Amino acid sequence: MVSWSEGSSSFWDDDSVTSQLPRTIPCYEWSGIAHELYSRCMHLEPCLRQVAFQSTNTGRHFLACAKEKAEQKCCYLEWIDPELSVAMQFCIGQLWSMHDKENEDRIRDNLKLGEEKFKLVGERRRMEEELRFFKLDFAKMVPDKEEAISQVISARLAISDLKEELEKKKLADHSSTNLHQVLRAKAEKERDQLVLERDQMKEEKKKLENIISDMMKQNHGYKDKVKKSKENCDEFEVCNG
């Protein structure tokens, strides 16, 4: 149990009472009202036992005003424990500096991550909105289908890349270096698959164009073949729209 030792600062010592109250930490060994001590706050009432949890005073026992409401508390503070040694104060100060720096870095990283997520979400919404309007216009388009199909493919690839980036950001706070490598490999594999599908779609489109070109050269059954080619193109658009 903590007791009033000869080495402790008393009410009558110089610098034993100050107006700067430190942050505190709960301590079952040193808590409650100190009725048995002679110390009194500026209200002339018994003081509250507390333990400091701030800077180089961390762990020191002290007495302070026992009023519950903050606006009623006086600025009385009386240290019970003597000051720590210079070496101990230096060590504790270094620990607090490391703790504060870690908190600042974490806050900075969270802000940066939040800004990146916000930017990606905004970009994704913009792309989806553009794609929605494009689909509406595409439904009214008859000529220039080659350009329209190319734009749809590009838009899908862009949205897919944005989705991958969002997934990476969601997992960034809970992933390790190895997990990042796995996600990167997975993203590259999916990207290669999308590129392969795009190339296949271009090849299929080219084949359809050749069929249409051949059919245009034929005289017999021109209208029927053109109609059939148009239906094939429409089906291709539906499958990839």
Give the 3-state secondary structure of residue 229.
helix
The residues, any chain, with a CB within 8 Å of residue 201's CB and separated by 6 or more, are: 149, 153, 240
**Residues 135 and 190 occupy one common structural domain:** yes
**Residues 49 and 143 occupy one common structural domain:** no
Kindly report the pTM of this predicted structure. Answer: 0.37
**Residues 74 and 121 occupy one common structural domain:** no
Q: Is residue 25 part of a domain?
A: yes
Q: Is residue 122 part of a domain?
A: yes
Q: Is residue 100 part of a domain?
A: no
Determine the structural domain holding residue 6 and report its residue range.
Answer: 1-84
Q: Is residue 97 part of a domain?
A: no
- Of 65, 84, 103, which marks where a domain is finished? 84
pLDDT by 10s per residue, the chain, length 241: 444 444 444 443 444 444 578 888 888 888 888 888 888 999 999 999 999 887 788 888 999 998 888 888 898 999 988 887 787 777 777 887 887 788 888 888 888 888 888 888 888 888 888 877 777 776 666 566 667 677 778 878 878 887 878 777 777 656 666 666 777 778 888 888 888 888 888 888 888 777 767 766 665 666 666 677 777 777 766 666 5
Q: Is residue 90 part of a domain?
A: no
**Residues 221 and 142 occupy one common structural domain:** yes
**Residues 41 and 148 occupy one common structural domain:** no
| pLDDT at 64 (0 to 100) | 92
**Residues 130 and 190 occupy one common structural domain:** yes
Contact 115, 97 (CB under 8 A): no
| pLDDT at 14 (0 to 100) | 40
**Residues 54 and 120 occupy one common structural domain:** no
What are the structure tokens assigned to 75, written together?
């600025």
**Residues 154 and 57 occupy one common structural domain:** no
| pLDDT at 18 (0 to 100) | 45
Choose among 100, 96, 24, 7: nearest CA to 63. Answer: 24
Domain count along the chain: 2
**Interaxial angle between packed helices 145-172 and 86-140, expressed in degrees from 0 to 180 and rounded to the nearest 10:** 160
- Of 66, 84, 102, which marks where a domain is finished? 84
